[in-house]
Amino acid sequence: MKKIGLPLAVVVLLAGLFIAWSYLTTENNVGAIEARLPSEEQLNAMSPDALAAIKSELTSDCTKVAGMANNPIARYLRGDAIKSLGERCDLIKARLGSVEGP
């Protein structure tokens, strides 16, 4: 029984640390990305040149959103916010595609 106790405690501790890390990074990332991503109204007001200028930042943020959407803990903690950000990223990708052309 003693041989199982220490490894089991380590596994439980590591699982707890992973959940805590996921919680903290999800809370920070969702708020920061939400502040950086333009809304639909802001996208409508942007010129194609302005949109092309911030393309790398937008694609980087949308990649982070996709990563959070694949994390079950992040989805459990902030599923609605991540879904909303995902919809904004889909709109941004469509706008970037229309700016770049076929």
Q: What is the pLDDT of residues 59-95, one digit of tens each?
A: 999 999 999 899 888 888 888 999 999 999 999 888 8
Q: Is residue 26 very low, low, confident or very high in pLDDT (cuts 50, 70, 90)?
A: confident
Helix axes 55-70, 72-100, angle to 10 degrees: 150
pTM value is 0.76
Nearest alpha-carbon partner for 91 in 70, 72, 65, 53: 65
Spatial contact of 92 and 75, defined as CB atoms under 8 Å apart: no
